[in-house]
Amino acid sequence: MLILMANEKKSNAETVKRLYNFGAHIVDDIKSGESPKFSTTVRSRSNVIFDDKNGFLKLGNSKEERTFVNIAQARKFMQTMAIAAKCDSFVKANLHTSIRGLFYQLKLSLGEDIEENLFNEQSESNPLIEDLEVALDLKREDLNLSADRKGFLAGNVRVIDKFGDEELEIDASKQGRGGWPIPSDVDNDIKFVDIKAKYVLVVEKDAVWQRLNEDGFWKKENAIIITPKGQASRGTRRLIRKLADAGLPIYVFNDCDAWGWYIYWTIKTGSINLAYIGNSIATPEARFLGVTMSDIEKYDFLKKMTIKANDVDVKRAQEMLGYSWINKHKQWVVELKKVIQTKTKLEQDSLQAPKLTFIGDYVREKVKNNDFLP
Amino acid sequence: MLILMANEKKSNAETVKRLYNFGAHIVDDIKSGESPKFSTTVRSRSNVIFDDKNGFLKLGNSKEERTFVNIAQARKFMQTMAIAAKCDSFVKANLHTSIRGLFYQLKLSLGEDIEENLFNEQSESNPLIEDLEVALDLKREDLNLSADRKGFLAGNVRVIDKFGDEELEIDASKQGRGGWPIPSDVDNDIKFVDIKAKYVLVVEKDAVWQRLNEDGFWKKENAIIITPKGQASRGTRRLIRKLADAGLPIYVFNDCDAWGWYIYWTIKTGSINLAYIGNSIATPEARFLGVTMSDIEKYDFLKKMTIKANDVDVKRAQEMLGYSWINKHKQWVVELKKVIQTKTKLEQDSLQAPKLTFIGDYVREKVKNNDFLP
pLDDT tens digit string along A124-164?
778 899 999 999 999 999 999 999 999 999 999 999 999 98
pLDDT at A75: 87
pLDDT at B8: 47
Alpha helices in A94-173, H assignment, sequence order: 99-114, 122-136
Are the CB atoms for B189 and B240 separated by under 8 Å?
no
Percent of chain A with pLDDT over 70: 94
Q: What share of chain A is helix, strand, coil (3-state, %, to 5)?
A: 50, 20, 35
Same domain, B241 and B314: yes
Burial class (CB in 10 A: 0-12, 13-18, 19+), B108: buried
A105 in any annotated domain: yes
Within 13 Å and on the Cβ side, how many CA atoms surround A240? Answer: 36
Rounded CA-CA distance B138/B157 in Å is: 27
**B353:A214 CB<8 A:** no
Which of these is catalytic: B20, B104, B251, B299? Answer: B104
Same domain, B203 and B324: yes
**What number is the average pLDDT over the span A86-97?**
97
Rg (CA), chain B: 23
Same domain, A141 and A231: no
Same domain, A207 and A333: yes
Same domain, B239 and B363: yes
Q: How does residue B126 score in pLDDT terms, banded at 50, 70 and 90?
A: confident
Reduce the DSSP state of residue B193 to 3 states and report it. Answer: strand
Query: How many Å separate Cα B266 from the centre of its chain?
Result: 8
Domain boundary pick from B146, B164, B196 = B146
Query: How many Å separate Cα B160 from the centre of its chain?
Result: 21
Q: Measuring CA to CA, how many Å separate A146 from each of A283, B26, B201, B210, B369?
A: 22, 56, 22, 9, 32
Nearest by Cα to B109 from A196, A320, A246, A350: A350
**B177:A163 CB<8 A:** yes
Reduce the DSSP state of residue A318 to 3 states and report it. Answer: helix
DSSP labels, A228-295: -SSSPPHHHHHHHHHHHHTT--EEEE--BSHHHHHHHHHHHH--STTGGGHHHH--TT-EEEE--GGG
Domain boundary pick from B146, B172, B204 = B146
Rg (CA), chain A: 23
**Is cis: bond before A291, omega within 30 of 0?**
yes
Nearest Cα of chain A lies from the Cα of B352 at a distance, in angstroms, of 6
Looking at the DSSP assignment, which residues form a beta bridge with residue B226? B153, B202
**What number is the average pLDDT over the span B270-293?**
96
- Full residue range of the structural domain in which residue A54 is found: 12-146
B4 in any annotated domain: no
Same domain, B315 and B172: yes
Phi then psi for residue B148, to 5 deg, are -55, 140
Rounded CA-CA distance B12/B17 in Å is: 8
Looking at the complex, does the CB of residue B247 fall below 8 Å from at least one CB of chain A?
A: no
Residue of chain B nearest A352, judged by CA positions = B101
B2 in any annotated domain: no
Q: How does residue B11 score in pLDDT terms, banded at 50, 70 and 90?
A: confident
Looking at the complex, does the CB of residue A161 fall below 8 Å from at least one CB of chain B?
A: yes
The b/e string for B202-221 (b: 16+ C-beta within 10 A; e otherwise) is bbbbbbbbbbbbbbebbeeb
Poorest-confidence range of A280-289, A342-351, B7-16, B89-98? Answer: B7-16
Q: What share of chain B is helix, strand, coil (3-state, %, to 5)?
A: 50, 20, 35
Residue A118 has pLDDT above 80, yes or no: no
B3 in any annotated domain: no
B41 in any annotated domain: yes
pLDDT at B261: 96
pLDDT at A120: 59
Q: How does residue B2 score in pLDDT terms, banded at 50, 70 and 90?
A: very low
User: Which stretches does DSSP call E strand in chain A?
Assistant: 37-41, 48-51, 56-59, 63-67, 97-98, 145-146, 152-154, 158-163, 166-171, 180-181, 190-193, 199-203, 223-227, 250-253, 287-290, 307-308, 344-345
Same domain, B192 and B56: no
Burial class (CB in 10 A: 0-12, 13-18, 19+), A300: exposed
Looking at the complex, does the CB of residue A212 fall below 8 Å from at least one CB of chain B?
A: no
Split into its structural domains, chain B has a count of 2
Residue B7 has pLDDT above 60, yes or no: no
Residue A77 has pLDDT above 80, yes or no: yes
**What number is the average pLDDT over the span B348-362?**
97
Same domain, A241 and A317: yes
Instruction: Enumerate residues 332 to 371 of chain B having a beta carbon within 8 A of any beta carbon in chain A.
Output: 347, 349-350, 352-354, 356-357
pLDDT tens digit string along A63-74?
999 999 999 999
Q: How does residue B116 score in pLDDT terms, banded at 50, 70 and 90?
A: low
Residue A273 contacts by C-beta under 8 Å, 6 or more apart in sequence? Answer: none
pLDDT tens digit string along A229-256?
999 999 999 999 999 999 999 999 999 9
Angle ∠(B60,B64,B66) on CA atoms, nearest 5: 145
Rounded CA-CA distance B220/A275 in Å is: 42
Catalytic residue status for A276:
no
Nearest Cα of chain B lies from the Cα of A221 at a distance, in angstroms, of 16
CATH number at residue B163: 3.40.1360.10
Same domain, B40 and B106: yes
From chain B, pick out residues whose CB is under 8 angstroms from the CB of A151. none
A286 in any annotated domain: yes
B313 in any annotated domain: yes
pLDDT tens digit string along B203-259?
999 999 999 999 999 999 999 999 999 999 999 999 999 999 999 999 999 999 999
Domain boundary pick from B125, B146, B167 = B146
Q: How many other C-beta atoms can be found within 10 angstroms of the C-beta atom of residue A113?
A: 10
CATH number at residue B24: 1.10.10.10
Within 13 Å and on the Cβ side, how many CA atoms surround B372? Answer: 19
pLDDT tens digit string along B289-334?
999 999 999 999 999 999 999 999 999 999 999 999 999 999 999 9
Same domain, A301 and A220: yes
Instruction: Find the helix or strand (DSSP H, E) in which B169 lies.
Output: strand B166-171
A213 in any annotated domain: yes
Poorest-confidence range of A9-13, B97-101, B207-211, B341-345? Answer: A9-13
Residue of chain B nearest A170, judged by CA positions = B175
Rounded CA-CA distance A212/B281 in Å is: 28
Same domain, B170 and B314: yes
pLDDT at B120: 59
Same domain, B343 and B204: yes
Residue B1 has pLDDT above 60, yes or no: no
Nearest Cα of chain A lies from the Cα of B269 at a distance, in angstroms, of 27
pLDDT tens digit string along B25-70?
999 999 999 999 999 999 999 999 999 999 999 999 999 999 999 9
pLDDT tens digit string along A310-359?
999 999 999 999 999 999 999 999 999 999 999 999 999 999 999 999 99
| Sheet with strand A158-163: strands edge to edge | A166-171, A158-163, A190-193
Residue A112 has pLDDT above 90, yes or no: no
Are the CB atoms for B256 and B218 separated by under 8 Å?
no
The b/e string for A30-69 (b: 16+ C-beta within 10 A; e otherwise) is eeeeeebbbebbbbeeebbebbeeebbbbbeeeeeebbbe
Residue of chain A nearest B98, judged by CA positions = A207
The mean pLDDT of chain B is 93
